[in-house]
Amino acid sequence: MSSLSRVWVVGTAAVTALGNDADALWGGLLAGRTGIAPIARFPTGGYKTHLAACVPGLHPAGPGSLVNALLDRLCAQLPPLPPDTLLIAATTKGGVDCLERAARSQPTDTTDIPLPALGTALRRRLGLTAPGFTVSAACASGSTALGLGARKIASGSATAVLVVGFDALSEFIFSGFSALQALSPGPCTPFDRARTGLTLGEGAAALLLASPERASTMGREPVGELLGWAAANDAVHITAPARDSRGLIQAIRAALARAGIGPEQIGGVSAHGTGTIYNDLMELNAFRAVFGENPPPVYGVKGALGHTLGAAGVIEATIALRALAEGTTPGTVGFSDPDPAAVGLVQSGPSPLRAQRVLLTNSGFGGVNAALVLGGKPQ
């Protein structure tokens, strides 16, 4: 590791159902607020639930994808970027809302439909000349993209990388999760004994990564550090996680090894925490296997933000960095009656960090699992 560059985080931005910036996001989480509310964007009468965590006041500006309006709000928070900054976009569905409208013979911009299209348009909008790319690794897209960006910095193949995760809620996405019987009738309750499924959300977030030397030439101070990253696939089922948690355990241990630390040096855990029965149990089993009888506090944010799909890992990394800066984790909204496996592990309210490192995990369809180790502001 000594020959590799350190990976600093030198900027963050976020748009979620709790507000249009990272301060609104953090304040809402600490207060235990939720962005989950009745959906006004499309009719929900034929579905199992009428709830989601939508960004307030978000509407398409013309025939293009709703994601463009989401990225408008995100770009307003970004600083000027060097043209050679590498853009890595993360999304599960991209501009699928345009495909939905085209299928209904409604006016739409079909150029937004191909998965890489919105990332390519964002790169041009930001004036970036480096050839970027798009990651679509199911619900681990955001954290996987961050791991790839960190590897680019660490290896020296890039010195500045902007990782942007985004997904907007459309009826196409909503109907798909409904058909899978994955949606909770009420707001999701991660790690709760009575959990019945997930609640969908939407959002966008960005992390600007840089080597220390490049950060200095950019005049950017670090807000945190990406210390470890890894991904693994349990190859068990197209939608269900491995009951023995093998893929997530492997990803966590590999991320810790890359960071050069042991489990006892993790101060808190940002869990995927969808609120589905099997995903939550798989995560809890993995954390017990890795941390043993003295686990750090675990929290999840999807009870407040819904499941933001491709944006989740980047949004949750933004939150983890703020937790490191403040020395406390947020609580887990919707968690009140612990699953037996969550007792003494998952926190319902804010909890002090035990150390200046946070483990972040995400898992997705197809058996993908990703893990990141984030550290506080480098000294």
CATH number at residue 357: 3.40.47.10
Residue 157 lies in a domain: yes
Report the alpha-carbon distance of residue 191 to residue 32 in Å, rounded. 16
Residue 2 lies in a domain: no
Strands of the chain (E only): list them. 8-15, 37-38, 51-52, 86-90, 133-135, 160-167, 203-210, 224-233, 268-270, 298-299, 328-329, 351-352, 357-364, 368-375
Residues 241 and 357 in one domain: yes
Whether the Cβ atoms of residue 21 and residue 14 lie closer than 8 Å to each other: yes
Q: State residue 297's pLDDT score.
A: 97
pLDDT single digits (tens) 299-311:
999 999 999 999 9
Which one of 189, 218, 247 terminates a domain?
A: 218
- 277: which 2 tokens? 């029965």
- 339: which 2 tokens? 């699953």
Three-state DSSP class for 237?
coil
Looking up tokens 């949750």 gives: 316
Report the alpha-carbon distance of residue 280 to residue 374 in Å, rounded. 22
Residues 228 and 170 in one domain: no
3 pLDDT higher than 80: no
- Please, what is the Cα angle at 14 between 326 and 102, to 5 degrees? 160
Q: In what order do the strands lie in the sheet with 8-15?
A: 133-135, 86-90, 160-167, 203-210, 8-15, 224-233, 368-375, 357-364, 268-270, 298-299
Residue 85 lies in a domain: yes
Which one of 197, 218, 239 terminates a domain?
A: 218
Predicted confidence band of residue 76 (pLDDT cuts 50, 70, 90): very high
Report the alpha-carbon distance of residue 67 to residue 122 in Å, rounded. 11
Residues 31 and 72 in one domain: yes
Whether pTM > 0.85 for this model: the answer is yes
139 pLDDT higher than 90: yes
> Which residues span the domain enclosing 51?
8-218
Residues 234 and 284 in one domain: yes
Residues 194 and 250 in one domain: no
Which one of 218, 241, 276 terminates a domain?
A: 218
238 pLDDT higher than 80: no
Q: What is the C-alpha end-to-end distance of the chain, expressed in Å?
A: 18
pLDDT single digits (tens) 172-208:
999 999 999 999 999 999 999 999 999 999 999 999 9
Report the alpha-carbon distance of residue 360 to residue 171 in Å, rounded. 29
- Residue positions annotated with a catalytic role: 139, 272, 307
Residues 165 and 287 in one domain: no
Q: State residue 365's pLDDT score.
A: 87
Residue 3 lies in a domain: no
Query: Across residues 244-267, what is the average pLDDT?
Result: 96
Residues 230 and 366 in one domain: yes
Residues 39 and 177 in one domain: yes
Report the alpha-carbon distance of residue 243 to residue 249 in Å, rounded. 12
Give how many domains the chain has, as a whole number. 2
Whether the Cβ atoms of residue 185 and residue 68 lie closer than 8 Å to each other: no
Predicted confidence band of residue 214 (pLDDT cuts 50, 70, 90): very high
Report the alpha-carbon distance of residue 242 to residue 252 in Å, rounded. 15
Residues 270 and 343 in one domain: yes
Residues 232 and 137 in one domain: no
135 pLDDT higher than 60: yes
263 pLDDT higher than 90: yes
Residue 255 lies in a domain: yes
Query: Across residues 95-113, what is the average pLDDT?
Result: 95
Taking every pair of Cα atoms in the chain, the longest distance, rounded to a whole number of angstroms, is 58
**To the nearest whole number, what is the mean pLDDT of the chain?**
95
Residue 74 lies in a domain: yes
User: 83-97, 230-244, 334-348 — which is least confidently predicted?
Assistant: 230-244
DSSP element (H, E) containing 178: helix 171-179
